[in-house]
Amino acid sequence: MSNPFLKQVFNKDKTFRPKRKFEPGTQRFELHKRAQASLNAGLDLRVAVQLPPGEDLNDWVAVHVVDFFNRVNLIYGTISDGCTKQSCPVMSGGPKYEYRWQDEQRYRKPTALSAPRYMDLLMDWIEMQINNEDIFPTNVGTPFPKNFLQAVRKILSRLFRVFVHVYIHHFDRIAQMGSEAHVNTCYKHFYYFVTEFSLMDPKELEPLKEMTSRMCH
């Protein structure tokens, strides 16, 4: 494994979470394979994210949310040793944006946390969402809940914050490892997907607006 990015990823056991798998033979597995094939074929990302004719939007979204979770988790894993309570005492995206954590258990009010603590809570929370059969049903024929896209919007807006923090505070590390192109591709894929299906409020995309306009337009 000569790629330093992959080496870094595979050395970071603590950032590895069990990947949510799609059962072979299921519709979602086939969609996952189709989405991967489009990416591997070098298809324009704007086209690759479009809903294939005749497919269910919720299925297509579910497959991508899980994929983005896995990819963003790995990206953060590569820089996590440089993201400490000391270097990043607040989860932020530059001086203008600070992200506070809120959940239904311990942090019922928005709470300022260090970036590594925020990331831990965020990844655990998303993992819980995507492994919850009531939100992401895996059985063929089990309908998605009525609030599925609403739940997805919250997951994606929180995942976006990881991109913001990594790009603004740790991009030198990404560049140093030669992973810039990989991270940029992941970000463009994410951006085209959320804009194709209006899954994020444009205001939430503001922190990376300048970079996005250079990269994606």
Residue with the two structure tokens 């599925």 = 148
In-domain check, residue 26: no
CATH assignment of the domain containing 136: 1.20.140.30
d(CA 167, CA 92): 11
Q: What tokens does 136 get?
A: 């992401």
What are the tokens at 17? 């979470």
Considering the domain boundaries, does residue 20 fall inside one? no
pLDDT digits (tens, 9 = 90+) for 3-46: 443 333 333 344 444 455 555 555 555 565 655 655 555 568 88
For residue 54, being part of any structural domain is answered with: no
**pLDDT of the residue at 45:** 87
The answer to whether 170 is a known ligand-binding residue is: yes
Q: Is 83 annotated for ligand binding?
A: yes
The more confidently predicted of residues 140 and 39 is 140
Query: How many CB atoms are closer than 10 A to CB 175?
Result: 11
**Residue 17 located in a structural domain:** no
- Give pTM, 2 decimals: 0.83
> 160: domain range?
66-216
Domain assignment present for 38: no
Is residue 124 a part of any domain in this protein? yes
The total number of structural domains that make up the chain:
1
Residue 184 lies in a domain: yes
Q: Flag whether pLDDT at 1 surpasses 50.
A: no
Let me know if residue 28 belongs to a domain.
no
186 is an annotated ligand-binding site residue: no
Q: Is 88 annotated among the ligand-binding residues?
A: yes
The closest of 190, 159, 91 to 211, measured between CA atoms, is 190
Centre a 10 Å sphere on the Cβ of residue 197 and count the other Cβ atoms it contains: 19
